[in-house]
Amino acid sequence: MPYDAARDPWHRRALSPAALGRAGALVVPNDAADLPRYGRLRVFVPATLASADIRILPVDAADDAPLTLPLPPGQVSVLEFLVRRVLASGTSAGLTIHRVD
């Protein structure tokens, strides 16, 4: 079934970083390549991990200025940054990362 604007109460509303996500995609961390589309990230950390970190480049950060953020095990986190790259180095293995846009 195709998209139906009549069923979408948020159709033609201004999008913002705090708006509901309208699309998304699985993210595979990569040290060299930016995301095909910048967005917020939703990250699930399995409870089996004792600790977890994600290393990102926010949209306005230089390539040599990544942020490393700790994440709580067993929970979903939505990062409060618009992200252009998720780096493989420094990001814990086993995370499920989705771009929300």
- Residue 55 sits in a domain whose CATH number is 2.60.120
Domain with 38, as residue range(s), is 22-100
Q: H or E segment at 86?
A: strand 83-87
The 3-class secondary structure across 15-75, one letter per residue, is CCCCCCCCCEEECCCCCCCCCCCCEEEEEECCCCCCCEEEEEEECCCCCCCCEEEEECCCC
Which pLDDT score is estimated for 68?
98
Reported as a single tens digit per residue, the pLDDT across 8-42 is: 666 666 666 666 677 889 999 999 999 988 889 99
Task: Please indicate, yes or no, if residue 39 is contained in any of the structural domains.
Answer: yes
Mean pLDDT of 61-85: 94
79 close to 56: Cβ distance less than 8 angstroms: yes
Mean pLDDT of 58-65: 92
Q: For the chain, what is the domain count? A: 1
Q: H or E segment at 96?
A: strand 96-100
